[in-house]
A and B are shown apart, each in its own frame.
Chain A
């Protein structure tokens, strides 16, 4: 098994993740079909519109395949991707993949005029340098289990979480040139990041 990181490319900010992975020297590929997951050792589900992505996941028979993938391999979900990874979502049109024990609320902060950038402290960064995070029509993520590790918080609410090999974020690590978050996730399983 090669160490290819897949990026779900049904819709959304997949290109920015591909740019980030390529800049880190990590082999990567787009995933639009179920069989393409067989070639990947990890997966990023990017931001975008969770309703649209959920619909395409159902229509193109990716749902079960994604769940089977997550049962064995690491998944990182960003914004809409985090919504899809949740156990429950506050919108019946999104059929969550139940990859992480958490509840997601869509558009937790409001419409686009409420989108914002802010500095966060990352628990996974030993040096403790602040991280500039961009929240875009971001969801609210609530852990449903004590086993979830909170890696960053904003106003007391968790906005970055880890559960075993999986990670979920409410903000967008692909929209900056700061690659610490991708590195932090890759370090756990990717040979060149040990």
Chain B
């Protein structure tokens, strides 16, 4: 690799810098789009034809992982490979939190993005994957700014809200997006002297806290995930500041996956145009049933996995 001639847009430095620009670059390309969970090649085709910008290949969608219980692991590489052979848009896959060996396998498989995901059963209760060591970019979930900056410090090239995966309920994604936006705004009005103490309070790397204080946003794209089930849900999180959306169980648990997927793609682009939102929201069949947060015990809540 050649030496960097220009100042980086991102606060990371040294060896991985160019590689990090290329990783964050792919996340930039996904902005304004919908990434969809798919469990086989047929679903992947439906998602791609509907206009998904990427698919997340996983064996079971989050709502089924919830129902089935047991340990949820990285998907079968053969199943991911079949999806890679079927679609030409980027293919993402999930590894367990801290399971760097699963991540190594996914990198060898040449997936385009790895989601170090709380939807799978965590492999390490204390540590996440050291993501700068990989050539493949990572996306991670967060519920607050400190968590987002810790993941970026470890090398995540894209963030997403955790939301509550497989719930069909947008309330947690909204909470996480609003929390992160509020915390970022708060940093922008702090004086320089306050930033180190804030870095200590939220447990985030100081240089990244300074970046957010200066720019008012994360140094990597911030998307929303967890509970998006309708075009209106996609429009809501976009208006709250999400730069793109992940749709998990919401599409293939509904009665009309192809139509719903296409509607969510359009709602993500025209998120602030009520007339277009009305048009794409009309005539859809029933969405997924969904779960109320009070019906989930603390152990059943996936967002509390990772730190």
Contact = CB atoms under 8 A, between A and B. Distances in A.
Interface of A: 9-16, 32, 47-49, 51-52, 55-56, 59, 79-80, 91, 93, 106-107, 110-113, 115-119, 130, 132, 134-137, 172, 175-178
B31 A134 contact: no
Interface string B1-40: 1101111010000000011011001101111110000000
A11 to B, nearest CB: 4
B118 interface: no
Contact of A176 (B6, B29, B112): B6
Contacts of A55: 51, 265
Contact of B33 (A48, A79, A135): A48
A16 to B, nearest CB: 6
15 contacts: A11-B31, A11-B32, A12-B33, A13-B28, A16-B28, A48-B32, A51-B48, A93-B49, A112-B113, A130-B5, A134-B21, A136-B26, A137-B90, A176-B6, A178-B6
Contacts of B1: 116-117
B32 A14 contact: yes
A115 B32 contact: no
A49 B6 contact: no
Nearest to A94: B88
B21 A117 contact: yes
Given A11-B53, A56-B51, A175 B25 contact: yes
Secondary structure dominating the interface of B: loop
B22 A10 contact: no
Nearest to A56: B269
B26 A115 contact: yes
Contacts of A132: 2, 4-6, 18
Nearest to A91: B88
Interface in B74-114: 84, 88-90, 107, 110-113
Given A113-B135, A115-B22, A116-B22, A56 B266 contact: yes
Nearest to B32: A11
B137 interface: yes
Nearest to B272: A32
